[in-house]
Amino acid sequence: MCGRLSQYSGIHDFVVALSMPNALINSTGEQPFERYNAAPTTQLALFHQEGEFLHADMVRWGWRPHWAKDRAAPISARVEKVAHGPFFRAIWPHRAIIGINNRFEWVDEDGPKKQPYLIKHRDQSPILCAAIGQYPNEEHGTGEHDGFVIITADSAVCMVDVHDRRPVVLPLELAREWLDPATPKERAEQMVLHEGEPSEAFEWFKVGRAVGNVRNQGPDLIKPAE
């Protein structure tokens, strides 16, 4: 999985996609996010549920436990290990959804530079990625160690991905079940292991190489390359 994605819609577009009846506690603002080229460490809108309330907060993309000071904060966690390995043990119970509009991958097509591709839902709906993290809550508020990681699985063979990992994208019903604190951890693990969306739900096309520079932003980055 390449570390680049888009989250340019406003929070309520993602709330509509989740279609949850829970009251929303929104700390992200009301305006479109306009993050067309978001990289690791970017603050992104993250959903999590506490009791009956759905929370939306801006949380840094990337997390590491406080004791892992000898490495950069990972941006993803392998679905095969995330539930049982020591690195993510503290945040495995803290399930979240990161809603995105699309993501990017770079493909070696024998040119002087790799070709970027945009990957999105065929029906243009928001993409609901399974995530875990450390995020603001009523007891502790915002902390310096807050952050989240996206759960990844093996890439589908027929997708454009040259990387061996892809985000685990959950269908609507499973995204709501994933967020529900009452969902047992064993059930949550099975969901991300076996019930992510198939490659047929996505489409992809070439985009301009300007997306390679993280300082570049704007809707031109998500248009098909000429």
Rounded to an integer, what distance in angstroms lies between the CA atom of residue 110 and that of residue 43? 34
* Whole-number Å distance between alpha carbons of 173 and 57: 22
195 is catalytic: no
3-state secondary structure of 222: helix
What would the two tokens of residue 111 be? 């040119």
Q: How far is CA 14 from CA 98, 99, 104, 219, in A?
A: 9, 6, 19, 18
Q: Can 105 be counted among the known catalytic residues?
A: yes
DSSP codes joined into one string, 127-182: EEEEEEEE--BTTTBS-TT-EEEEEEEEPPTTSS--SSEEE-BPPHHHHHHHH-TT
> Which one of the listed residues 2, 138, 200, 203 is annotated catalytic?
2
Cβ–Cβ under 8 Å, residues 168 and 129: yes
Kindly name the residue from 30, 50, 105, 189 that is annotated as catalytic.
Answer: 105
What's the CA gap between 204 and 175, in Å, rounded?
23
Which of the residues are catalytic? Answer: 2, 105
